[in-house]
């Protein structure tokens, strides 16, 4: 059999296993319910005096507030959608994907997988990509759904939320590379999820390194090391926030790096984690 087909089959196996565990089904239902609530529960009508202003109703009850601009309404919806994706969507995605990855190492399952005529590094990478495709598809479908509904309701066709969705998927992929490594080492979901949340928290903590340096030179030095070693989660979150036009919510951007540096340095972190995971998996005795 063609190796590429085997590689694709392993990715597909991740989908099948995810649906069998019902975890992905639950997340998909949540996303669908949110879209349906927005589609049928939120309605808008143009203000008679000015077409750029709208009145908003929730389940047929008009909100007793002043008319708002279409752009303001669209920004609010996009900011809310992004707030659901990060951190809650990423957290749920990690929970699902780590379970799939650690499940590969159970006795019987790993023997079946290793019997396939494919290198171990390809097995590891295919399983990793399977988690990204699974979470990425749900994330992007949600973003496209919100964008399509905004287009229908208020005629806003800005693609900021869709681009922000790609940033969220990238951030998930970076964190998942570390989670996959811990799942391999610990052969369990719980330890990998906790360790990933800790790394995520440390990466956010490192963002305030300038403030920490004022409090203590030692704390500032530690934060500097963490900032350059760990993925730039906060900077990537800022990029996504700017894409949906919510710069006003970024109260302090003094310590932020450039978008280019945030992407390539975070990508390098993911590559190192994947390389280490592949190396350990290749040498592990089953």
Confidence of residue 71 (pLDDT cuts 50, 70, 90): confident
Among 15-19, 135-139, 188-192, 259-263, whose mean pLDDT is lowest? 15-19
Encoded tokens for 186: 């610990």
**Cα angle: 265, vertex 127, 22; to 5 degrees:** 115
**Parallel, antiparallel, or unpaired: how do β-strands 61-62 and 68-69 relate?**
unpaired
Range 159-164 average pLDDT:
94
Model confidence band, residue 165 (pLDDT cutoffs 50, 70, 90): very high
For residue 18, the surrounding DSSP H or E stretch is helix 3-20
d(CA 15, CA 133): 9
Comparing 213 with 107, which gets the higher pLDDT? Answer: 213
246, pLDDT greater than 90: no
Q: Domain ranges in the chain?
A: 3-42+70-283
Taking only the tens place, the pLDDT of each residue in 125-137 is 988 998 898 899 9
pLDDT at position 254 is 47
Among 89, 274, 88, 86, smallest CA distance to 182 is for 274
- Among the ranges 118-132, 252-266, 271-285, which has the highest mean pLDDT value? 271-285
Mean residue pLDDT across the chain? 86
Q: Between the CA of residue 264 and those of 12, 156, 163, 261, 268, what are the distances in Å?
A: 29, 32, 17, 5, 6
Query: What tens digit of pLDDT does each residue of 35-45 get?
Result: 999 999 999 98
Q: Is the pTM here over 0.85, yes or no? A: yes
Helix axes 3-20, 90-103, angle to 10 degrees: 110
Q: Per-residue pLDDT for 226 more than 50?
A: yes
Q: How far apart are CA 123 and CA 241, in angstroms?
A: 35
Predicted local confidence at residue 25, as pLDDT:
82
Cβ neighbours of residue 38 closer than 8 Å, sequence gap 6 or more: 77, 146, 149
What DSSP line would sit under 160-177, residue for residue? HHHHHHHHHHHHHHHHHH
């Amino acid at each position: 059999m063609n190796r590429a087909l085997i590689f694709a089959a392993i990715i597909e196996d991740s989908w099948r296993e995810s649906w069998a565990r019902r975890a992905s089904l639950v997340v998909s239902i949540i996303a669908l319910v949110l879209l349906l609530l927005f589609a049928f529960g939120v309605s808008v009508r143009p203000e008679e005096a000015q077409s750029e202003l709208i009145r908003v109703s929730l389940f047929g009850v008009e909100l007793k507030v002043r008319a708002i601009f279409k752009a303001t309404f669209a920004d609010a919806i996009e900011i809310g959608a992004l707030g659901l994706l990060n951190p809650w969507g990423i957290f749920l995605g990690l929970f699902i994907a780590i379970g799939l990855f650690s499940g590969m190492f159970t006795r019987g399952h790993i023997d079946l997988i290793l019997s396939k005529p494919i290198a171990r590094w390809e097995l590891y990478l295919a399983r990793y990509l399977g988690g990204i495709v699974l979470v990425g598809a749900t994330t992007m479908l949600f973003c496209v759904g919100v964008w399509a509904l905004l287009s229908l309701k208020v005629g806003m066709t800005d693609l900021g939320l869709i681009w922000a969705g790609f940033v969220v998927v990238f951030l998930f992929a970076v964190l998942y590379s570390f989670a996959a490594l811990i799942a391999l080492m610990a052969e369990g979901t719980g330890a990998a999820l906790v360790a990933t949340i800790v790394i995520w928290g440390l990466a956010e903590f490192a963002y305030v390194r300038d403030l920490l340096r004022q409090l203590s030179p030692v704390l500032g030095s530690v934060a500097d090391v963490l900032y350059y070693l760990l993925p730039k989660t906060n900077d990537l979150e800022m990029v996504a926030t700017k894409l949906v036009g919510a710069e006003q919510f970024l109260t302090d951007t003094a310590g932020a790096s450039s978008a280019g540096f945030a992407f390539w340095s975070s990508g390098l972190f993911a590559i190192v984690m994947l390389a280490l995971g592949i190396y350990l998996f290749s040498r592990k005795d089953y």
